[in-house]
């Protein structure tokens, strides 16, 4: 396999073994499907949706199953009536074990009907897939957590460890609206306080034929920061050009950001990831991984591995231009030009260091670099705790034999940054397999395989019990 054609996905796929078998829907799965459909069909996008309605629907199902209104309740912050959150607690028998938290968000990214093949806010089951906004991100996990609580209650199960649940709003809002997980952490920490939390961000990956390639448990993530680049100029008539053009200044600044290469910066998770990936990599990549693990300042090793875009993002902080606007008239010199740069910062690097690197690369005092606010807290990576990893790996071996489970650092962002505010190690849990192309998450025609939903539900339900009883 030529190194230039080798990718992380191809490498991990070489670890995988058996495929999936057909599955018949069980009565308990039919009950779950009803809950899942109701949640997905409730529009919770920020522009015209309502998380409070969705939270109330979930709460009612829990009350009907026997939970009291103290054990399962909807929290609505005054002034944010459409952004309600569900919080619940299932009491354990132990006086010494600390609680665990099941975290998910019920809001979704915007979607326009005219862009989609199907109504984005109506769940459709077609050709072995569920289609709709939120089926994958993140209503499937929210539905599974609520469904597990209901199944526990109806079965008479009593865990040793208290299990908490938070299905929150605002994760997708990008600071446009209240983030429920952050608000709860800052104002009602007792609803979240726990020894550890299970969240989105992990899962698994399928190939195009639906065969499992690998499972992933997210152990840490990058922080997201957005910077505005702005240049101003007195302007003038376009018939008299001048060298200090606002658009030229901005264009040169954008190219400088393009060429800005941050150094490799490894952490406990990415080191473990590289070690597990190395045995299936080509010889040249194996050597580069070994060299980088021995010395992360090895420029040639880092450069070679960074030929894969995903690996590049995993190894270092990255910044990319995402938006541009400039000028006010076709026949006038521009008075203003503005660009937007989004950075994903590895744990251990600060916002200030990132901004300083951008300014140094641009090296033009006419370009003003400003950090956008508000923004998420910096990510705090949890430990590679064997008490979390080992049960997940063991159960995966039973339910998905031959499919490797690897620790990963997410290059995106989740509400794990919010639970970190009150010191809760938060893990993106495996179990649900996603499509190799992302399945339309944040894009068009979001989809998730029906089999992935039901298999993931079984895995997560069993895993929660294992954690709750030890």
Q: What is the pLDDT of residues 313-349, one digit of tens each?
A: 999 999 999 999 999 999 999 999 999 999 999 999 9
Phi, psi of 280 (to 5 degrees): -105, 5
Nearest to 272 by CA among 196, 423, 381: 381
pLDDT tens-digit series, residues 113-149: 999 999 999 999 999 999 999 999 999 999 999 999 9
With respect to residue 308, please indicate whether it lies within any of the assigned structural domains: yes
CATH number, position 361: 3.30.70.360
Tell whether 108 and 56 lie within a shared domain. Answer: yes
Mean pLDDT of 345-367: 96
Enclosing H/E stretch for 458: helix 450-468
Find the mean pLDDT for residues 423-451: 95
Domain boundary among 371, 406, 433: 371
Q: For residue 69, tell me if it sits in a domain.
A: yes
**Distance between CA atoms of residues 435 and 451, nearest Å:** 12
Give yes or no for residue 23 having a pLDDT over 90: no
pLDDT > 60? residue 260:
yes
* CA distance linking residue 352 with residue 333, whole number of Å: 33
Instruction: Give me Rg for the CA atoms of the chain.
Output: 24
Residue 19 has pLDDT above 80, yes or no: no
Which pLDDT score is estimated for 12? 66
Among 371, 403, 435, give the residue marking a domain's end: 371
- My answer on whether 398 and 362 are in the same domain is no
The residue count of the chain comes to 470
As a whole number of angstroms, the distance between CA 159 and CA 466 comes to 9
* pLDDT at 413 (0 to 100): 87
Q: Are residue 353 and residue 460 in the same domain, yes or no?
A: no
Domain stops at, among 312, 346, 371? 371
For the purposes of burial, counting CB atoms within 10 Å of the CB of 6, is it exposed (0-12), middle (13-18) or buried (19 or more)? buried
Closest by alpha carbon to 168, among 48, 49, 54?
54
Are 127 and 152 within one domain?
yes
**What confidence category does residue 17 fall into, taking pLDDT thresholds of 50, 70 and 90?**
very low
Q: Which pLDDT belongs to residue 14?
A: 62
Note whether residue 27 is domain-resident: yes
Taking CA atoms, 440 is separated from 118, 170, 313, 446, in Å, by 13, 20, 20, 4
Are 38 and 90 in the same domain?
yes
Check if the beta carbon of residue 100 is closer than 8 Å to that of residue 199. Answer: no
d(CA 357, CA 371): 13
The arrangement of strands across the sheet holding 223-232 comes to 318-326, 336-345, 223-232, 367-371
pLDDT at position 412: 83
The reply to whether 3 falls in a domain is no
Task: Note whether 351 and 443 are same-domain residues.
Answer: no
Q: Are residues 171 and 296 in the same domain?
A: no
> What distance in Å separates the CA atoms of residue 303 and residue 299, rounded to the nearest whole number?
6
Name the pairing type of β-strands 163-168 and 100-105: parallel
CB atoms within 10 A of CB 317: 24
The owner of tokens 């990718």 is 7
Q: Is the pLDDT of residue 21 over 50?
A: no
Collapsing DSSP to helix, strand or coil, 99 comes out as coil
Q: Mind listing the pLDDT tens digit for each residue in 390-431?
A: 999 999 999 999 999 999 999 888 999 999 999 999 999 999
Please check the confidence at residue 3 and state whether its pLDDT lies above 70. no
| CATH number of the domain encompassing residue 107 | 3.40.630.10
- 1 pairs with which residues across the strands? none
* Segments forming the whole domain that contains residue 259: 223-371
Do residue 205 and residue 138 come from a single domain? Answer: yes
426-428 vs 196-199, strand pairing mode: parallel
Q: Are residues 43 and 140 in the same domain?
A: yes
Are residues 84 and 182 located together in one domain of the fold?
Answer: yes
> Using one digit for the tens of pLDDT, what is the confidence trace for 368-384?
999 998 888 888 889 99
The pLDDT, as a whole number, for residue 15 is 60
51 domain-assigned: yes
Domain membership flag for residue 453: yes
Per the domain annotation, does 2 fall within a domain?
Answer: no
Half-sphere exposure of 302 (CA within 13 A, CB side): 17
Distance from C-alpha of 180 to C-alpha of 451, rounded to nearest angstrom: 31
Q: Are residues 87 and 174 in the same domain?
A: yes
pLDDT for 259 beyond 70: yes
Predicted confidence at residue 2, as pLDDT, reads: 46
pLDDT in tens, 152-202: 999 999 999 999 999 999 999 866 679 999 999 999 999 999 999 999 999
pLDDT at residue 18, rounded to an integer: 36
| Residue 365 structure tokens | 């005092």
CA distance 279 to 389: 20
Are both 13 and 148 inside the same structural domain? yes
Q: What is the pTM of this model?
A: 0.89
pLDDT of residue 378: 85
Total structural domains within the chain:
2
């Amino acid at each position: 396999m030529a190194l230039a054609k080798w990718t992380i996905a191809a490498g991990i796929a070489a670890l995988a073994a058996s495929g999936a078998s057909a599955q018949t829907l069980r009565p308990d799965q039919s009950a779950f499907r009803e809950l899942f459909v109701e949640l997905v069909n409730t529009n919770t996008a920020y522009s015209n949706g309502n998380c409070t309605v969705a939270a109330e629907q979930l709460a009612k199902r829990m009350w009907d199953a026997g939970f009291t209104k103290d054990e399962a309740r909807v929290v609505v912050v005054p002034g944010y009536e459409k952004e309600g959150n569900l919080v619940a607690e299932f009491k354990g028998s132990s006086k010494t074990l600390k609680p665990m938290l099941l975290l998910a968000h019920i809001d979704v990214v915007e979607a326009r009907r005219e862009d989609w093949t199907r109504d984005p806010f109506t769940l459709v089951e077609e050709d072995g897939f569920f289609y709709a906004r939120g089926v994958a991100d993140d209503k499937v996990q929210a539905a599974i957590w609520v469904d597990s609580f209901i199944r526990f209650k109806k079965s008479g199960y009593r865990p040793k460890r208290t299990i908490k649940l938070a299905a929150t709003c605002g994760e997708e809002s990008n600071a446009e609206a209240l983030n429920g997980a952050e608000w709860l952490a800052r104002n009602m920490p007792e609803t979240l306080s726990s020894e550890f939390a299970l969240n989105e961000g992990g899962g698994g990956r399928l190939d195009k034929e639906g065969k499992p390639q690998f499972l992933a448990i997210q152990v840490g993530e990058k922080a997201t920061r957005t910077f505005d680049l702005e240049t101003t100029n007195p302007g003038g008539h376009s018939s008299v050009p001048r060298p200090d053009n606002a658009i030229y200044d901005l264009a040169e600044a954008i190219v400088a950001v393009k060429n800005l290469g941050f150094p490799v910066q490894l952490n406990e998770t990415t080191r473990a990831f590289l070690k597990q990936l190395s045995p299936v990599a080509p010889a040249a990549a194996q050597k580069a991984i070994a060299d980088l693990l021995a010395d992360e300042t090895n420029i040639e090793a880092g450069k070679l591995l960074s030929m894969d875009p995903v690996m590049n993002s995993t190894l270092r902080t990255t910044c990319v231009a995402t938006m541009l606007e400039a000028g006010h008239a076709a026949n006038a010199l521009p008075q203003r030009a503005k660009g937007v740069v989004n950075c994903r910062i590895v744990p251990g690097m600060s916002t200030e260091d990132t901004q300083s690197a951008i300014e140094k690369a641009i090296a033009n005092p006419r370009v003003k670099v400003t950090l956008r606010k508000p923004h998420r807290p910096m990510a705090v990576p949890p430990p590679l705790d064997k008490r979390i990893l080992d049960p997940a790996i063991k159960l995966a071996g039973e339910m998905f034999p031959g499919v490797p489970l690897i620790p990963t650092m997410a290059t995106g962002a989740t509400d794990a940054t919010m639970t970190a505010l009150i010191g809760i190690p938060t893990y993106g849990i495996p179990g649900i397999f996603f499509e190799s192309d992302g399945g339309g998450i944040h894009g068009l025609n979001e989809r998730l395989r029906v089999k992935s939903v039901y298999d993931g539900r079984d895995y997560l339900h069993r895993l929660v019990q294992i954690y709750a009883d030890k």
